[in-house]
Structure 1
Amino acid sequence: MKWKKLTVGPVQENTYIIYNNLNEAVVIDPGSEGKRIIQTIESLKVKPLAILLTHAHFDHIGAVDDVRERYNIPLYIHKKEADWLSDTKKNGSKYFGQSITAKPATHILTNTDNTLKIGNFSFEVLTTPGHSPGSVSYYLKSSGAVFSGDALFAGSIGRTDLHGGDQDVLINSIHEKLLHLPEETMVLSGHGPETTIGMEMDSNPFLSGF
């Protein structure tokens, strides 16, 4: 598996295009700049099969409809944030002077951690709430990578002062779900640079004591 990271929009959100040697692709969190995301997909000569959302804050959903309509592919989101796609208060765009929405998702994820198979991809869906109630992380065990959304960053964790945020819940999610992954696991976050589970266990100031 390979991935391409595009940093998009005014808050520098990371959109990921994951693809394999069969030229299948999955897009995670197309947050903004839909035209640029589509141009990158075309340049990679891959076929998108689905869009996966780690959560539904406005900076992660702004280009959902552009990509979905271009390729006629399904959208996956956790059930606790399904209605956030159309609610500018819950997705936060209203408070940043914007009105960002997306059409309803086609597939709803539940609270239970499970395996999601899309084409030749097999993701372990880890429920990691705290930054938002329906945050999830997508773990590709075969590739040693986890797409953590805004749960865990290099040297930091997600903010919890937005709708439904809870820092205690977030710390518990990271401890119970992400820090149990192998230390060499690459962490591909919703903002900022890549890191590893081991590096965050050793040096992340928010996770001291774990």
Structure 2
Amino acid sequence: MTARVDHAVVSGTFSLDGETHQVDNNVWVVGDDSECVVIDAPHDVDAIMALVGDRNLRAILLTHAHDDHCRVAPQLRERAVAPIMLHPDDRPLWELTHADHLWDVDLGDGFEIMIGGITLRAIHTPGHAPGAVCFHAPALGVLFSGDTLFQGGPGATGRSFSDEDVIVDSIRTRLLDLPEETVVHTGHGPDTTIGAEKAALGPA
């Protein structure tokens, strides 16, 4: 089987620091015809399961624990019998949404999972959130950046548990050395490339 990336956009809310906003989130599913992983679990279990189809869902990989990226992770875990994986530094954010239960597997920097004959590797990129990670799939030439890197630059900071200097350092030291043609699949909005964002960020 040949690994591929499936995509959907789901709508809901993001709440933090006493504010709530309407948001559209990207959902990414990586795998082949028999097995897959889901990257982030926002808003709508049925929409995510429609992408998964009749495949074996091996894992729910979370780029970070803002509620618009993890809100339906426990329901998805129950529906598909798949473990939730999250970087442990995001526990304070996770507990704002899911105070009564935890995720299943800690995602450390360099964590790898094989799916559909390819490898996804976690890259710890704090700044937008303490435990933010990106997932690199070299065989597909793609990076799943969550809210760390967007078309036009770094993800938002200025809220609780975020830091502008840290996110810029994460991008420059952890991501910009990837091949410039790497396609960046983001947590919200359109794709970009490493080369485009390297040019936009300028020298370190």
Q: Distance in 1 between matches of 2:70 and 2:113?
A: 22
Cα distance 1:102–1:2, how it changes in 2: closer, same or farther (>3 A)?
A: farther
Counterpart for residue 114 of structure 1: 110
User: Is 2:79 the partner of 1:70?
Assistant: yes
- 1:79 deviation in Å? 0.9
CA distance in 2, matches of 1:208, 1:57: 28
- Give 1:117's aligned amino acid: I
Number of the residue aligned with 2:176 = 179
Whole-angstrom distance in 1 between the partners of 2:120 and 2:100: 24
Alpha-carbon distance, 1:118 to partner: 3.8
* Partner residue in 2 for 1:208: 202
Q: Find out whether 1:16 has 2:23 as its counterpart.
A: no
Instruction: Measure the CA separation in 2 of the matches of 1:103 and 1:24.
Output: 26
Q: Percentage identity across aligned positions?
A: 35
Work out whether 1:123 is the aligned partner of 2:120: yes
Q: Give 1 or 2: higher helix fraction.
A: 1
- The one-letter amino acid paired with 2:90 is E
- The answer (yes or no) to whether the contact 1:128–1:174 under 8 Å persists in 2 is yes
Q: What is the CA–CA distance in structure 1 between the aligned matches of 2:10 and 2:113, rounded to whole Å?
A: 27
| SS of corresponding position for 1:114 | coil
Give the number of aligned pairs.
Answer: 191
Alignment of 1:1-210 (within 5 A): 1-10=3-12, 11-21=23-33, 23-42=34-53, 45-88=54-97, 103-110=101-108, 113-119=109-115, 120-202=117-199, 204=200, 207-210=201-204
SS state of the match for residue 173, structure 2? helix
TM-score under structure 2 normalisation?
A: 0.87
- Any conservation in 1 of the 2:118–2:139 contact (CA below 8 Å)? no
Structure 1 residues 51 and 15: CA distance shift in structure 2, 3 A? same
Q: Give TM-score, length-normalised by structure 1.
A: 0.84
Instruction: Give the CA RMSD over aligned residues.
Output: 1.7
Q: Distance in 2 between matches of 1:116 and 1:53?
A: 14
Residue identity matched to 2:102: P
CA contact 1:62–1:101 (8 Å) conserved in 2: no
Stretches of structure 1 lacking an aligned partner (at least 5 in a row): 89-99
Higher-strand-fraction structure: 2
Distance 2:50 2:146 in 1: 23
